[in-house]
Amino acid sequence: MIFTVAIDGPAAAGKGTISRAVAQRFGFAHLDTGLLYRAVGAKGGDPVVAAQTLTPADLMRDDLRSMAAGQAASRVAVIPAVRAALTDFQRRFARQPGGAVLDGRDIGTVICPEAEVKLYVTASPEVRAHRRWLEVGGDEARVLAEVIERDARDMGRDDAPLRAAADAVVIDTSALDSDAAIGRAISIVQAAIAMDRAHGPR
């Protein structure tokens, strides 16, 4: 079965938690596409060359989850040649047999507009900053400022800006706990799989 679940949204909205749970529930492969951009940002040197020569080992670095790595990723992600170098890999991953979940910023809009399910997972900047602050500590106002700065860059860039696809289902997690958000996503995917099966195998 070729079946893609595209999950987009801003930082710390809950995309990762939902994506992992959906992938596990349906036995789909999962790709956190933010990790690709984080690895490019962390590699240093010319970001285009870094993207063109990315290896699985680059994705295993243990410093990719920091706030600094997120900001660096957001900066290299505005470069069209960086995005272009990462596109084919993501597209192949999305359409692999057996089903795939990809989370990022442009999955439903650019990487896989034909995805069978598109979710846009969001929450208020304050709620997202609070969640991130619980993980990283420090000054919460500074974490909020970084979240707002990263949103502005990810939404404001010319190439593949963060936005909900016209046919995406929006899940606002501001007032949802993770079980409720996961439950909502799983029932949407379940319904789409049933519809896909009713239309015959591909």
**Site for ligand DC, rule CB under 6 A:** 11, 33-34, 37-38, 70, 73-74, 77, 104-106, 150, 154
Residue of this chain nearest to ligand DC (CB atom):
34
CB 44, CB 159: distance < 8 Å: no
* Positive/negative CA dihedral, 5, 17, 163, 71: negative
For residue 149, how many other CB atoms are within 10 A of its CB? 12
* Minimal distance, residue 102 CB to ligand DC, in Å: 8
Measured from the CB atom, the residue of 102 and 182 that comes closer to ligand DC is: 102
**Closer residue to ligand DC (CB): 7 or 189:** 7
The upper half-sphere exposure of residue 173, i.e. CA atoms within 13 Å in the direction of its Cβ, equals 29
Instruction: Determine the 3-state secondary structure of 115 from DSSP.
Output: coil
Instruction: Rank residues 62 and 198 by Cβ distance to ligand DC and give the closer one.
Output: 62
- 4: phi then psi, degrees, rounded to nearest 5: -115, 130
In whole angstroms, the minimum distance from the beta carbon of 42 to ligand DC comes to 11
What is the nearest approach in angstroms of ligand DC to the Cβ of residue 11?
A: 4
Query: What is the token pair recorded at 167?
Result: 């046919």
Tell me which residue has tokens 């349906």: 26
The least CB distance from residue 154 to ligand DC, in Å, is 5
For residues 14 and 104, which CB has a smaller minimum distance to ligand DC in the complex? 104
